[in-house]
Homo-oligomer: A and B are copies of this chain.
Amino acid sequence: MPKLGMEEIRRRQLIDATIASIHEVGFADSSLSRISAKAGVSTGIVHHYFKDKADLLEATLRRLGTNLRLAVVSRLRGAKTPVERLMAVIDGNMGSEVFTPEGVSAWLAFWAQVPNNERLARVQRIIVGRLHDNLVDALRPLTPGHDVQAIATLVASLIDGLWLRAALKREPPNGETARLLVIDYLNAKLNLNIPME
């Protein structure tokens, strides 16, 4: 009889191994044999839980997006003021759960696949769209008289750039420093006084 919940466990194992492998050796060298070895299972098992390698990769990107969404959602729950809500979105994209060595490596790797992979592109568009919407919602009460769309685009681009630079560095990414750069911009542009503690 099938062990209950085994499917979810195995899928998670394999997705985690995929992220770890991409971090360690990169996208190109993340073969299924390496991934399954890292997950501690046989190569054949992958095709029990995923249609093929592309399916595993898509699920992995989806998971990265989910992690990001959860990081924002959990912070929004405790946010009361407009500034707190804005910072929930910013911090949700810079927090220590997501802004990890493995996380930024995997993100960069997947981004590079997007231009030539429609299925990954679709997932990525959802993730990017969600960040943009979150930013616009959070910025609107704080930006009377400004072009909120442009500011959201700038902040999103800045966040992307910081993720990119984090991925390119050898050291573990420093979310705190990255966060301060975003706050500094917002304070200057919107005449806010978000504390940079």
Contact = CB atoms under 8 A, between A and B. Distances in A.
Interface of A: 23-29, 105, 108-109, 111-117, 121, 124, 128, 150, 153-154, 156-162, 164-165, 167-168, 181, 184-185, 188-189
Contacts of A164: 111, 157, 160-161, 164
Give the secondary structure class of A's interface: helix
B165 A160 contact: yes
Contact of A185 (B111, B156, B189): B189
B115 A112 contact: no
A105 B109 contact: no
A151 to B, nearest CB: 9
A113 B109 CA distance: 8
A168 B26 contact: no
